Structure 1
Amino acid sequence: MGSEARSGAPGVVPPPPIESRLAARLAELRTERGWSLDELARRTDVSRSTLSRLERAEISPTAALLNRLCAAYERPMSRLLAEVEAEPPQLVRVAEQSVWHDAPSGFTRRSVSPPHPGLRGEVVEGTLRPGADIAYDSPPPVPGLEQHIWLLAGELEITTGDTAHTLHPGDCLRFRLWGPTRFRCTGPAPARYALLVVLP
């Protein structure tokens, strides 16, 4: 993720299907609310040109940018991504798990157990490369969303509100999301964790 692409341009590889569907869904959400690009730019503090290129799948959103858009549209990032993925079967083989890369920030997200009709929980695997530092400054799309983070490998610092928690392999941090959060890979190896999200 993070690379620019223009579908159909000579010599340029078109964006992956999931990125094209994500761009179309973001445009639909804005249209459903009757917002102009200028109005969305005001609500997210993201430039109009960036939003326009994003909705045309010319650029890919970073995790931080996608978080701002999810806050504006009042939905968890996982739910937005689920809306552009095919309906998952009950058994999700590893080869069928959707993977999203945010290359600039060094973040990889694997949808291990994607949202499914009739189920309230989902499981995500996150990996941060050494030195990665991601701050989610926007208000959470769903205030009070329950999250459980189990560190599988590496060292990870997670800040919720004004409190920083350092996790080592096997540690689990659980909280309800009310405000900004920050994820930092503080060790020499990638930090890999499992995230359980319980939807309201």
Structure 2
Amino acid sequence: MRQDSLDERLAHRLAALRTEHGWSLDELAVRSGVSRSTLSRLERAEISPTAALLGRLCAVYERTMSRLLAEVESEPPGVVRAAEQAVWRDRASGFTRRSVSPPHAGLRGEVVEGLLLPDADISYDAPPVAGLEQHLWVLDGAVEITIDGQAHRLETGDCLRFRLWGGSRFRCLGTTPARYALLVVLP
């Protein structure tokens, strides 16, 4: 899938969500902590969102990032071939996200592959859905995951499971990329 078409569909969906909630750009800016001008440019597809920006908007709309991205995709098939998995890149932060098993209506779980380049450091103020269950399994490299203020250093093969109630941070450690599988289960 072309990145541009995904960004455009994402922009339209974000504008539609704001309209569905009956919020002005000013009100969404207050709720999300994102400037009105950034929100406006985002909804017009003039800029691509960063992972942190999408995280803030997902929290306001009470959606996981995967669910939001799935809303701009067509209904996923039972088998998702590697070449057909949606990939989203935040080049500014050095983060790539692959929806290995996209979310589906009626199902609570999904699998995401994350890739953090060296020096990548991404923080989220709050979870998109309080109590979100996650299992993070490091496939390659080393990463530091901070959940509610507690840092966990993970290396290849390590797995961290947690319920997300507050802020989180994902930081690549070392000089090689960190690749992980994230299993997400809605409460």
Q: Specify every segment of 5 or more residues in structure 2 that has no aligned partner in the other structure, as ranges.
A: none
State the secondary structure of the residue aligned to 2:175. coil
| 2:66 is the alignment partner of 1:83 | no
Task: Name 2:44's counterpart in structure 1.
Answer: 56
What letter corresponds to residue 186 of structure 1 in structure 2? L
TM-score, length-normalised on structure 2?
0.96
Give aligned-pair identity as a percent: 74
Q: Specify every segment of 5 or more residues in structure 1 that has no aligned partner in the other structure, as ranges.
A: 1-13
| 2:183 is the alignment partner of 1:176 | no
Query: Hey, what's the Cα distance between the residues in 1 that align with 2:68 and 2:180?
Result: 21
What letter corresponds to residue 76 of structure 1 in structure 2? T
Moved more, 169-178 or 108-117: 108-117
What letter corresponds to residue 103 of structure 1 in structure 2? R
Task: State the 1:15 CA deviation.
Answer: 6.6
Query: Hey, what's the Cα distance between the residues in 2 that align with 1:79 and 1:34?
Result: 21
| 2:119 is the alignment partner of 1:151 | no
Query: Hey, what's the Cα distance between the residues in 1 that align with 2:105 and 2:149?
Result: 35
State the secondary structure of the residue aligned to 1:193. strand
Partner residue of 2:147 out of 160, 168, 180: 160
Query: Hey, what's the Cα distance between the residues in 1 that align with 2:104 and 2:21?
Result: 25
**Structure 1 residues 185, 23: closer, same or farther in 2, change over 3 A?**
same
Task: State the 1:17 CA deviation.
Answer: 1.2
Query: Hey, what's the Cα distance between the residues in 1 that align with 2:155 and 2:175?
Result: 13
Task: State the 1:74 CA deviation.
Answer: 1.2
Task: Name 2:15's counterpart in structure 1.
Answer: 27
Partner residue of 1:122 out of 107, 110, 115: 110
Q: Determine if contact 2:149/2:167 at 8 Å carries over to the other structure.
A: no
| 2:100 is the alignment partner of 1:136 | no
Structure 1 stretches of 4+ with a deviation exceeding 6 A read none
Task: State the 1:75 CA deviation.
Answer: 1.2
State the secondary structure of the residue aligned to 1:122. strand
Task: Name 2:92's counterpart in structure 1.
Answer: 104
